[in-house]
């Protein structure tokens, strides 16, 4: 089978690895719009169920990923000047750039071809491949093509967020909630290397407007955020991917009624998104990749294989997305919880993905 992946992120790379492990003779080409040296991003969470599936699929890349990962065993909640530590909350993370480097190298080792600086569309590639894998991320053009034949559900967060890096490695996952003159601002932070952490800042639209975030160069916003989170950061500083204010966004949870149409199939963020507060985006991408490779390997006509993939992923993804939606909406309504004392606030935080306060 000749396969083209449109987009060269984690979903496409892991699908290529999984497919080559299942069918070494498959010819796979990955079309990546960015250049080879552009591999950016901060840390990502490595969920244990995902790592177990990766180990079963490909021991070599699994070992290489763990070699570049860090771990923690506590979550720290900071609220109203008090601190709550939740033990036995084991987690792992790594840099997105590190994960992509490992997966690129392994995909090439297995015989896949990665074409950099090669933006491509389904229309460009349709005649030359038996299968087109839409793996072009949250702004997917492939999704819009399939969306013409099946509905796409979208739910947008009321909050604004920005994904930043920090030149300090926290020794645990930290959620720091700060009250300001314009309302609460909070951060989800966790280490991804020996000296760096992910630092995702979120706030309500009213707070965003009150501070004037997104109206100036990003460096101005970073200085303000460093002041707000001074107690957590100490001497550390924050970094964005550019100095553009457009890095502030509203999260959009996306779900496609159909993951395939004709010779096109969607995986990863092109197929569905889950709010970053539950850390499952990479897990969904990897599990999609494995499920699609397995469905194709089972044989039969292409429509039959894609239907199997659709059936397998719909229920699993739906459960994760429901939890993510509850979590997103909890943060959207944070004003309802903010006055709670630390113990009650922590309980509400822990149970947020279940759609209940305690």
- What span, in angstroms and rounded, lies between the C-alpha atoms of 200 and 78? 15
Which residue matches tokens 């496609």?
256
300-334 pLDDT, tens digit each: 999 999 999 999 999 899 999 999 999 999 999 99
Task: Enter the tokens of residue 160.
Answer: 């604004």
pLDDT beyond 80 at 39: no
Q: In degrees rounded to 5, what are phi and psi of residue 138?
A: -65, -25
- What span, in angstroms and rounded, lies between the C-alpha atoms of 89 and 19? 33
Residue 145, C-beta contacts closer than 8 angstroms, at least 6 positions apart: 122, 134, 261, 264
40-83 pLDDT, tens digit each: 789 999 999 999 999 999 999 999 999 999 999 999 999 988 99
- What span, in angstroms and rounded, lies between the C-alpha atoms of 9 and 136? 8
Predicted local distance difference test score (pLDDT) of residue 244? 58
Q: What is the mean pLDDT of residues 231-257?
A: 88
163-173 pLDDT, tens digit each: 999 999 999 99
Predicted local distance difference test score (pLDDT) of residue 194? 95
Q: Please, which residues bridge with residue 79 across strands?
A: 82, 177
How sure is the predictor about 148, in pLDDT bands with cuts at 50, 70 and 90? low
Q: What is the mean pLDDT of residues 175-191?
A: 96
SS3 sequence of the chain = CEEEEECCCHHHHHHHHHHHHHCCCCEEEEECCCCCCCCCCCEEECCHHHHHHHHHHCHHHHHHHHHCCEEEEEEEEEECCEEEEEEEEEEEEEEHHHHHHHHHHHHHHCCCEEECCCCCCHHHHHHHCCEEEECCCCCCHHHHHHHCCCCEEEEECCCEEEEEEECCCCCCEEEEEEEECCEEEEEEEEECCCCCEEEEEEECHHHHHHHCCCCCCHHHHHHHHHHHCHHHHCCCCEECCCCCHHHCECCEEEEECCCEECCEEECHHHCECCCHHHCCHHHHHHHHHHHHHHHHHCCCCHHHHHHHHHHHHHHHHHHHHHHHHHHHHHHHCHHHCCCCCHHHHHHHHHCHHHCCCC
How sure is the predictor about 356, in pLDDT bands with cuts at 50, 70 and 90? low
80-128 pLDDT, tens digit each: 889 999 877 889 999 999 999 999 999 999 999 999 999 998 888 988 9
pLDDT beyond 60 at 256: yes
pLDDT beyond 80 at 243: no
Torsion region of 137: left, alpha or beta (phi above 0 gives left; psi -120 to 50 gives alpha)? left
Q: What is the mean pLDDT of residues 135-158?
A: 88
User: What is the pLDDT of the chain when averaged over all its residues?
Assistant: 93
pLDDT beyond 50 at 347: yes
Predicted local distance difference test score (pLDDT) of residue 257? 87
- What span, in angstroms and rounded, lies between the C-alpha atoms of 190 and 111? 35
């Amino acid at each position: 089978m000749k396969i083209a992946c449109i987009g060269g992120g984690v979903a496409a790379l892991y699908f290529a690895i999984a497919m080559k492990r299942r069918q070494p003779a498959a010819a796979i080409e990955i079309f990546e719009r960015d250049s080879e040296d552009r591999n950016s991003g901060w840390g990502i969470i490595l969920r244990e169920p995902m790592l177990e599936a990766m180990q079963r699929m490909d021991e070599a890349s699994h070992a290489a990923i763990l070699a570049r990962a860090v771990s923690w065993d506590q979550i720290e909640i900071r609220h109203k000047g008090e601190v709550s530590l939740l033990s036995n909350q084991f987690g792992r993370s790594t840099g997105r750039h590190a994960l992509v480097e490992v997966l690129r190298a392994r995909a090439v080792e297995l015989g896949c071809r990665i074409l950099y600086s090669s933006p491509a569309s389904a229309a460009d590639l349709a005649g030359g491949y038996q299968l087109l894998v839409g793996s072009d991320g949250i702004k997917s053009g492939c999704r819009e093509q399939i969306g013409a034949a099946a509905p796409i559900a979208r739910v947008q967060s009321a909050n604004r967020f920005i994904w930043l890096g920090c030149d300090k490695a926290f020794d645990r996952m930290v959620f720091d909630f700060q009250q300001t003159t314009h309302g609460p601002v909070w951060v989800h932070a966790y280490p991804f290397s020996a000296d760096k952490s992910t630092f995702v800042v979120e706030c309500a639209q009213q707070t965003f407007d009150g501070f004037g975030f997104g109206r100036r160069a990003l460096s101005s916003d970073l200085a303000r955020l460093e002041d707000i989170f001074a107690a957590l950061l100490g001497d550390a500083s924050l970094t964005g991917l550019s100095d553009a204010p457009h890095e502030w966004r509203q999260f959009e949870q996306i779900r496609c009624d159909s993951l395939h149409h004709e010779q096109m199939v969607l995986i990863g963020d092109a197929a569905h998104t889950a709010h970053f507060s539950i850390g499952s985006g990479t897990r969904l991408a990897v599990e999609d990749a494995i499920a699609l490779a397995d469905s194709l390997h089972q044989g039969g006509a292409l429509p039959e294989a894609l239907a199997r993939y659709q059936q397998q992923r719909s229920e699993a993804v739906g459960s994760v997305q429901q939890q993510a939606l509850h979590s997103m909406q909890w943060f959207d309504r944070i004003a309802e919880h903010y006055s709670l004392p630390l113990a009650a606030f922590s309980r509400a935080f822990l149970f947020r993905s279940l759609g209940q306060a305690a």
